[in-house]
Amino acid sequence: MANEVQKIIVRSIDQESLLEAMVDRVDIVEIIEKFRYHEDFAPREYLTIEEFQKYLKCCRNYALELAKFGFESKNFHVNKVGRKWLIDRLSYERWISRGGHK
């Protein structure tokens, strides 16, 4: 499992630099498979509670409770930075598409 620094680097690297680094790799097929199917390296699109509330068209309390649920259950990706909640919209949508239930 990747640590947070590795995840940030992978999400932040530009494609040209990534391709240059990959050209000389012998194990490129294994690397591609790891990134293609591993949830830790999936793209993220974070929403604040207020943005999540508008996205869901619900009250703030429901959005906050859903974020707390996601954080505790790990059903979708939620980060808490101090008192600020950040909800990954893409992982939330994947959870819903799989029939997500609270």
Reading across the β-sheet that carries 84-88, which strands appear in turn? 46-47, 84-88, 78-81
Task: Return the closest-CA partner of residue 70 out of 48, 54, 86.
Answer: 86
Better pLDDT: 85 or 31? 85
What is the mean predicted confidence (pLDDT) over 10-22? 74
pLDDT in tens, 24-63: 777 877 877 776 656 666 678 899 999 999 999 999 999 9
The pLDDT assigned to 76 comes to: 92
* β-strand pairing of 78-81 with 84-88: antiparallel
The pLDDT assigned to 84 comes to: 94
Domains contained in the chain, CATH given: 4-41 (no CATH), 46-97 (3.90.105)
Chain mean pLDDT for the chain: 83
The pLDDT assigned to 45 comes to: 87
For residue 45, how many other CB atoms are within 10 A of its CB? Answer: 11
Residue 46: which H helix or E strand, with range?
Answer: strand 46-47
Question: In this model, does residue 70 exceed pLDDT 70?
Answer: yes
The pLDDT assigned to 67 comes to: 96
* β-strand pairing of 46-47 with 84-88: antiparallel
Question: In this model, does residue 1 exceed pLDDT 60?
Answer: no
Give the whole-angstrom CA distance, residue 81 versus residue 78: 10
The pLDDT assigned to 87 comes to: 95
